[in-house]
Amino acid sequence: MLLLFIYPFLHGLVLSFEPKEGGGLANYLRFFSQPFFYNTIATTLRVAIPTTLVNVGLALPIAFGTRRNSAWQRVLTTILVLPITLGTVLIAEGLLTYLGPQGWVQHFPSLVACARPRARGGRKSPWPQ
């Protein structure tokens, strides 16, 4: 986790204190002294604050709703968990389609007539010897 999340953040922070020109705080002084960057900060806040409030406003009632014992608890939990698990199921199905015993990878050599597929599980190969 350190390698994937903490290191890139710390590396970027260290690089921000090593500008091409000026002292250690030159990037920050330039950023906060130009009007264009004020507009960038204002636009970011105009988008981020309402988005955060809407997300929290919707997420809290849903979270508390899943904790109560009610008729809708299972339905709500299923609706929230299904997208998380469905991706894994579809990936597994795709891997079986390509790499399984009847998958494309096993049948590709016979399709291009460069080799015979291997017989599996002690069965006799249907291909002439």
**Model confidence pLDDT, tens digit, residues 39-95:** 888 899 999 999 999 999 999 988 887 788 877 788 888 888 888 888 888 888 888
Domain boundaries, the chain: 71-118
Question: Mean pLDDT lowest for which of 21-35, 76-90, 115-129?
Answer: 115-129
Q: What is the dihedral of CA 119, 123, 126, 129, to 10 degrees?
A: 70
Q: How far from 32 is each of 27, 39, 79, CA to CA, in Å?
A: 9, 11, 45
| Average of per-residue pLDDT values in the chain | 83
Using the structure block, give the residue that is written with the tokens 């390698």.
3
- Token duo for residue 3: 């390698």
- pTM for the model stands at 0.45
